[in-house]
Homo-oligomer: A and B are copies of this chain.
Amino acid sequence: MEIFHPAEILSRDEIAAVQTRRLARVVKRAARSPFYKAKLDEMGVDPESITSLDDLTRLPLTTKDDLRASYPFGMLADEHRELVRLHASSGTTGAPTVVYHTEKDLRTWADLMARCMHMAGMRKEDVFQNIAGYGLFTGGLGIHYGAERLGCLTIPAGAGNTARQIKLLRDFNVSAVHIIPSYALYLAGVVAEQGLDPRDLPPRIALIGAEPHSEEARRRIEEMLGLKAYNSYGLSEMNGPGVAFECEHQNGMHLWEDSYIAEILDPQTQEPVAEGEVGELVMTTLTREAMPLLRYRTRDLTRFLPGECACGRLHRRIDRITGRADDMLIIKGVNIYPMQIEKILLAVPEVAQNYQIVLEREGYIDQIKVRVEIKEEFFIEDMRVLGGIQKRIAGLLRNELLVTPRVELVEAKSLPTSEGKASRVVDLRETKD
């Protein structure tokens, strides 16, 4: 096995040893910040007493609200003069959050990112197009620094401007791209509309992340663009991209346990779920200097996958994110995640790229409607054919969700598309309670 970094092939014992040593250090470092100093004092936890991984549960959980409340400086565990970067959220839905980095933090992040890219088969010889917004969004600069660390010829293409993206892919014979899943499907559609085969575009590897997507969406991207698509997981609170990534086997994302301790907890009780069950991913940074986070509740739902990966790396694998704890819809008393709906829809051959979930209220009852684009060749005026497709989709959804959504078939390319992250859920209910 070719590796980028020796930490990739640590044994489980070695991982535990590294985690133990780094946990003790990071707790002491976190205790320098106003937030954790107060929190640990309040809980009566002496940082010096954290000496084993079993001590983890004695540490406080940290939430996004904690980050907001301590904006802008409360989480800072470092001298100001060692800081070289900050990333801040837009704060469009509440107070912003901020994450700081020292120069060493940026190096560690770039190394983790390069390790991910290498694991997915990228090499120094690749020409890499980074189709992601730069600036404060961590997906742009995070991936960028990783690609330069790996030594790829990196094209900082940014987001949007599809015609130009396609021109760059072709002109520079781009072999690997970073792209948001819904935009990958959109871009393939634009090429197909020009009467060309998207599979003739040069890339052989796509790194996909930044929005939850189903296995079916990944397979569609692979088929439409004629490449291998590798799932990426990250969040700005844990630097950004580079937390977990798929290897060549594409069977879950190896989470770098030398840099993070991951727990899967029940989002309601905050107790560990049973082995292999889905719950909220909770993470502790082990290497960050400027702003360590202890047991951060990511709100992302996933599970640890059982068994060892054929690649030989022993860092545990997490399943694709099945949604966010906050994304859960409750319809007629049933919990529904949008990702369950996507999974069903994109497995139906007649379905085109786009769909929309519409929530409505009739009287006091919430209704869920799914608007589905049907491929042109199936969208014929024969009501029996369309009726059959509609019934089939409704049945499949009922089996998965345990409620019966209304299904509306629409023509391909009639639903709004976006060059950014797709917004799949439209809530038309007048009040939310």
Contacts of A312 in B (CB 8 A): none
Contacts of A172 in B (CB 8 A): 72, 86, 98
Contacts of A84 in B (CB 8 A): 148, 151-154
Q: By the criterion CB–CB under 8 Å, are B135 and A86 in contact?
A: no
Q: By the criterion CB–CB under 8 Å, are B153 and A136 in contact?
A: no
Q: A134 to B106, alpha carbons, bound, how many Å?
A: 18
Check if A124 is an interface residue, CB within 8 A of chain B.
yes
Point out the residue from B100, B135, B141, B155 that lies within 8 Å of A157, measured CB to CB: B135
Q: By the criterion CB–CB under 8 Å, are B171 and A158 in contact?
A: no
A residues 93-143 near B (Cβ < 8 Å) are 96, 98, 100, 103, 106, 124-125, 133-136, 140-141
Q: By the criterion CB–CB under 8 Å, are B148 and A136 in contact?
A: no
Q: By the criterion CB–CB under 8 Å, are A154 and B85 in contact?
A: yes
Number of identical monomers bound together in the oligomeric complex: 2
Q: By the criterion CB–CB under 8 Å, are B134 and A88 in contact?
A: no
Q: A154 to B88, alpha carbons, bound, how many Å?
A: 12
Contacts of A136 in B (CB 8 A): 155-158
Point out the residue from B90, B124, B171 that lies within 8 Å of A164, measured CB to CB: B90
Q: How many chain A residues touch the partner (CB < 8 A)?
A: 38
Q: A387 to B209, alpha carbons, bound, how many Å?
A: 61
Contacts of A100 in B (CB 8 A): 153
Q: A151 to B148, alpha carbons, bound, how many Å?
A: 19
Q: By the criterion CB–CB under 8 Å, are B153 and A135 in contact?
A: no
Q: A141 to B151, alpha carbons, bound, how many Å?
A: 17
Contacts of A157 in B (CB 8 A): 135-136
Q: A156 to B100, alpha carbons, bound, how many Å?
A: 12
Q: A151 to B81, alpha carbons, bound, how many Å?
A: 8
Q: By the criterion CB–CB under 8 Å, are A135 and B154 in contact?
A: no
Q: By the criterion CB–CB under 8 Å, are A156 and B134 in contact?
A: yes
Contacts of A158 in B (CB 8 A): 133-136
Q: By the criterion CB–CB under 8 Å, are B168 and A156 in contact?
A: no
Q: By the criterion CB–CB under 8 Å, are A156 and B72 in contact?
A: no
Contacts of A152 in B (CB 8 A): 84
- A128 — nearest CB in chain B belongs to which residue? B84
Contacts of A148 in B (CB 8 A): 84-85, 103, 106
Closest chain-B Cβ to A17's Cβ sits at a distance in Å of 33
Closest chain-B Cβ to A159's Cβ sits at a distance in Å of 8
Q: Which 7 pairs of residues, A with B, have the shortest CB-CB distance? A: A135-B158, A134-B134, A83-B153, A135-B156, A72-B171, A134-B135, A84-B148
Known: A84-B152, A86-B155. 6 other contacts (CB 8 A): A72-B172, A81-B151, A134-B135, A135-B156, A136-B157, A136-B158
29 CB contacts below 8 A, A to B, read A72-B171, A72-B172, A80-B153, A81-B124, A81-B125, A81-B151, A84-B148, A84-B151, A84-B152, A84-B153, A85-B153, A85-B154, A85-B156, A86-B153, A86-B154, A87-B156, A88-B155, A96-B167, A96-B171, A98-B172, A103-B151, A133-B158, A134-B135, A134-B140, A135-B158, A136-B155, A136-B157, A136-B158, A141-B156
